[in-house]
Chains A and B, each alone.
Chain A
Amino acid sequence: MKANAGALPTQEMLINMGPQHPSTHGVLRVILRTDGEVVVNAKPDVGYLHRALEKIGERVTYAQFMPFTDRLDYLASMNCNAAWAWTVEKLAGIEVPERAEYIRVIVCELNRISSHLIAFGSFTADMGAFTPFLYAIRERERINDLFEEICGNRLTYNYVRIGGVSADLPDRFLEKTKEFLDYFEPKVPEYNKLISYNKIFVHRLANVAVATPEDAVGYGLTGPNLRGSGVPFDLRRNEPYSVYPKIDFDVCVGTGERGTVGDCFDRYMVRINEMKESVKILRQAIAQIPDGPVMAKVSRVFKPPVGEVYFRAENPRGETGIYLVSDGTVNPYRLKIRAPSFVTMNIFEKITRGLMIADIVAVIGSFDIILPEIDR
């Protein structure tokens, strides 16, 4: 019989990827419609971790909501803590002591390094290289040790308070941080040697899932994902808050180093480069930190004025925006958290059209999403 490829019956297949899947970074479900190996359509289905944090927020006081922000983006709890504190302080017009602001910047940047390390490690593990993950975890361990000294916790820190931070830095903390930075700084080039320019790795990422600058802005990508598309926008620079105006650092953008601007490789490289910038920020903050109190006077029964405020902070995964409506009572009237990963998932369906199934894993990893924040 003569082989006739045209006569073979072909049909699209519906594949369920997740919610329990090692590469989806949590419980993300993707409904794939495929034509052979090619993805015709990939619809993300989120919400498996929904805990109604916004509803809870309407029933607790402003201070009581702080531990819940730890559970938003658990890999960057310090940043989420600080974003909440900055929002409430902006609403109530609280002046925070300068030392406390420096401490916040120090812990936020340390947390940014630790979060980017996980992004780097898990992404490379998704791409089939297991060793970098162990390197990343080894470095992150030292940051966890530092945080444990500050607040006793290694994951959900609950360290920042409305009006300052819960306690001053322990003895020798700044020296230990400096020691860590001296140890960590040479590691980044080491990662690049280890995996970043590995031929197989580059081939998996270059020119895959390109987000053009227009799409990136229109679909609301933020943080490293936006900068990966070559848009030099960083809230720490463009809408400076806290003590960031006093600190000098570069905004890393994607350059299309190995492919097109805005591909998976660019998003990956932005994170790698941002770790170096965080080291720079940390060194300056440690040099500049003044002595003084770490907590402003905030009354125990805290009632902010009536008003509405929207504040956004540059977190490792993009901008965490908090829209807060206050009716002057002890509870927030409405509290909306604009989670960067949630808005990022918007572009997923568009960007994955026509990719291979294996590329889906690369796309999820390159966006560095985190599910507790998506589902809130």
Chain B
Amino acid sequence: MEPKAIFEAVQATFGEAAVELQEEGFHPAFLVVSPEKVKEIGRFLRDDPAMKFDSLMCLSGVDYPDRFAVAYHLHSLAIGHRIGVKAYLPREAPSLPSVDDVWPAANFQEREAFDLYGIVFEGSWDLRRILLPEDWEGHPLRKDYKYPEFYHGIKV
């Protein structure tokens, strides 16, 4: 299916939760959705017989100049099309529902986004830091991250 058709189908079901379609300069195109509806929209995209997005290729946090975003790249092995889904989040206390029971592959990547961006995935079955030590302070991939001078009293 073409991104435009997918966007219209999501809009028909979820109304205003489908915010816009980012097409120009984006490969693949992104459906921008409101963060609180991410899980329902994800389930719809996975289960709808015309979409069948059964595979979550990649889940990434992004720190845009004024807000965070979580970008999901979906692919359908059954049909062979792909689409991106993006949810923008405020810089203060960013959080959105976890999609790990829609696509189990999300868990590790959500933990990574939590670890490196501090984005909270509500309802995740296991949300802990993954790459950094558990007592690490701050979230290094944020653009305003301050490099620490000491770790456990050791100069770095």
Contacts and interface: CB of A to CB of B under 8 A. Distances in A.
B50 interface: no
Contacts of B130: 46-47
B1 interface: no
Nearest to A319: B57
Interface stretch (A50-58, A125-133, A152-160, A354-362): A50-58
B10 interface: no
Contacts of A47: 129-133
B58 A342 contact: no
Interface in B26-48: 26-28, 30
Query: Chain A contact residues: over half helix, strand or loop, or mixed?
Result: mixed
Interface in A298-333: 305-312, 319, 321, 323, 325
Contacts, number: 90
B108 A343 contact: yes
Given A90-B27, A307-B27, A321-B57, A233 B140 contact: no
Interface stretch (B11-19, B87-95, B99-107, B148-156): B99-107
A334 B108 contact: no
A218 interface: yes
Contacts of B77: 217, 231, 233
A376 B26 contact: no
B25 A308 contact: yes
A323 B109 contact: no
Contact of B84 (A46, A90, A310, A312): A310
A46 B131 contact: yes
Interface in B51-107: 54-58, 60, 62-63, 71, 73, 77, 80, 84, 103-105, 107
Nearest to B78: A217
Contact of A310 (B25, B73, B108): B73
Interface string A209-237: 00000010111100000000001010000
Given A218-B54, A376-B131, A54 B141 contact: yes
Interface of B: 25-28, 30, 54-58, 60, 62-63, 71, 73, 77, 80, 84, 103-105, 107-109, 112, 116, 129-133, 140-141
Q: What are the 10 A-B residue pairs with the smallest beta carbon separation, nearest first?
A: A220-B105, A307-B25, A336-B60, A47-B131, A338-B58, A50-B131, A309-B27, A346-B108, A219-B104, A321-B58
15 contacts: A90-B27, A217-B77, A220-B105, A238-B80, A307-B25, A307-B26, A308-B26, A310-B27, A310-B73, A319-B57, A321-B57, A338-B58, A342-B112, A346-B108, A350-B104
